[in-house]
Amino acid sequence: MGGDEFACLVRHRDTSGKPLEMAQSIIQAVAKPIQLPGGLAEVSASIGIVTANPECGSADEMLRAADFAMYRAKRDGRSNYSVFAPEMAAEMRRRAALELDIRAGLHRGEFTPFFQPIIALATGEVIGFEALARWRHPELGLISPDVFIPIAEDAGIIQELGFALMRRACCEARGWPPHLTLSVNISPLQLNDQWLAQRVLQVLCATGFSAGRLVVEITESRLVSDTQAARAVMLSLKSAGVQIALDDFGTGYASLKHLRELAFNRIKIDRSFTHNVHATENAQIIQAILNLSDGLGLPVTAEGLETEESAEMLARLGCEFGQGYLFSPPVEPARALEIARNGRYSADGAPQARGDRIQRARTFRYGS
Ligand code: G
Ligand code: G
Ligand code: MN
């Protein structure tokens, strides 16, 4: 069907488990390691299953349904299968509509970065900002990246969207005092582009923002195992002076391997650990992460700090930087500039920690 997509047509009776059994055995057969001259290769497959019935539309529609089920399987983790359920049809239409709208919004320039300050916990000084994407939808208002990033990834437009946002963020950040850094999130999928580093440098060149002030954040939990390609891209970025942060640390599964192989410059502790620092388990995990990063000589930022208490506790444990509603929610560029010029967080003059009012995935309903 595509470069690495195949379709199987299977005759079976409605209630037989045959397609599921077949899917299982295909997955197992594909997963067998293959001995190549250079070493063992491992491949995984994800399978979507749809059964024809009298209500089914055209062959094309069935293939789209199977494709949708396959993406579900992929999302649930590789080497999985998923059966298309009728409820998915509405979801599929909604996503298709949303995808069209994202493309249009991209061309209309509706995607824009908000900025959340990152604070030195010991002094309260602002050391930089993280850019967080927002979609200023003409009818629906501000929409969260949780809604549109996964769709942009599936639709193959994450690279275009990511760079449009990065360009805007660099333009805004140019106006800040020159010691402040700008962190941008990139999707792990963007690492598949072998020219990623060159494209980033192009943006820096075009906007006049210096490489040494840019931090690229990569989410740990979705960093793929194909570290060869990722490493090459990250090395090019690093040799240009760009820093790389491992985002949401603690939520992935191969943390230590990644840290070593991919030579990150910074670590961000996921907010699930900092949210309740008093849970003994969280405190122990935080301590372990700080010990580890200390050993590796990597500075750490704690995400999701909402209370003075948690910020104090993290500072005491030796965490250098923090970020969260306690200091400020992600704010519009103009407000970020004010915070940047002000340069410091103080408990009384704290920017209101209300959280930004945006539509998140849980509550978001599109066109239905
Ligand atoms: O801003 P919150 O602001 O809702 O962000 C939710 C998630 O979306 C975070 O995990 C963040 O890393 C991700 N995100 C925000 N902006 C971007 C972006 O520009 N690109 C990518 N790939 N992810 C982003
Ligand atoms: O995955 P990433 O670290 O890029 O995600 C940042 C996300 O965290 C954004 O959605 C941002 O809006 C959100 N966020 C920032 N500060 C806080 C906070 O103090 N509490 C909570 N719950 N979320 C926060
Ligand atoms: Mn981030």
- pLDDT tens digits, one per residue of 222-259: 676 567 778 889 999 999 999 999 998 887 665 577 77
Q: Which atom of ligand 1 is nearest to the CA of 248?
A: 10
* Model confidence at 368: pLDDT above 80: no
Ligand 2 pocket check for 116: Cβ under 6 Å: yes
| Number of Cα atoms under 13 Å in the Cβ half of residue 203 | 25
67 within ligand 2 shell (Cβ under 6 A): no
Q: What pLDDT, on a 0 to 100 scale, did the predictor assign at position 367?
A: 44
363 versus 313: the higher-pLDDT residue is 313
Pairing of strands 81-83, 111-120: unpaired
Distant-in-sequence contacts of 136-145, Cβ < 8 A, 24+ apart: 136/110, 136/111, 136/112, 137/101, 137/105, 137/110, 138/110, 140/359, 140/366, 141/358, 141/359, 142/356, 142/357, 142/358, 142/359, 143/358, 143/359, 143/364, 144/358, 144/359, 144/360, 144/361, 144/364
Q: Whose CA is nearest to atom 23 of ligand 1?
A: 185
Reading the block at residue 353, the tokens are: 């920690």
Residue 297 predicted with pLDDT over 70: yes
Average pLDDT rounded to a whole number, residues 104-108 = 97
Establish whether residue 330 lines the binding site of ligand 1, counting it when its CB lies within 6 angstroms of any ligand atom. Answer: yes
Percent of the chain whose pLDDT exceeds 70 = 90
- Two tokens, residue 343: 């340069």
Rounded distance between C-alpha atoms, residue 136 and residue 139, angstroms: 9
* DSSP per-residue string spanning 202-214: HHHHHHT--GGGE
Say what the pLDDT of residue 262 is: 81
Nearest ligand (C-alpha, residue 158): 1
Would you state the structure tokens that stand for residue 303, as one six-digit string? 């995400």
> Which residue's CA is minimally distant from atom 24 of ligand 2?
304
Residue nearest to atom 8 of ligand 1 (CA): 145
> What's the whole-model pTM score?
0.84
Ligand 2 centre to CA of 222 (Å) is 17
Which ligand is in closest contact with the Cα of 327?
2
Are 277 and 307 spatial neighbours (Cβ–Cβ below 8 Å)?
no
SS3 100: helix
Within 8 A by CB and 6+ apart from 112, the residues are 133, 134, 135, 136, 165, 168, 333
Q: What is the DSSP letter of 190?
A: G
**Residue 41: its pLDDT value, please?**
80
Euclidean distance between CA atoms 279 and 306, whole angstroms: 15
Give me 126's structure tokens.
């602002």
pLDDT for res 231: 86
| Atom number of ligand 2 nearest to Cα 219 | 1
Is the pLDDT higher at 80 or at 225?
Answer: 80
Check pLDDT > 90 for residue 79.
no
Residue with CA nearest ligand 2 atom 16: 324
pLDDT at 24 over 90: yes
- State mean pLDDT over 53-79: 84
Kindly report the length of the chain: 368
- At residue 357 the predicted structure's pLDDT band, cuts being 50, 70 and 90, is low
Q: Can you give the pLDDT at residue 75?
A: 78
Pocket test of ligand 1: the residue of 106, 110, 134, 146 to mutate, having most ligand atoms within 8 Å of its CB, is 146
Coil, helix or strand at residue 246: strand
Q: 220 CB less than 6 Å from ligand 2?
A: no
pLDDT the model gives residue 267:
94
Residue 364 has pLDDT above 70, yes or no: no
Q: How far is the CA of 325 from the centre of ligand 1 (A)?
A: 16
Per the prediction, the chain carries an average pLDDT of: 88
Percent of residues in the chain assigned helix, strand, coil, to nearest 5: 45, 20, 35
Q: Is the CB–ligand 1 distance for residue 326 below 6 Å?
A: no
Is the predicted pLDDT of residue 352 greater than 80, yes or no?
A: no
The pLDDT value recorded for residue 349 is 47
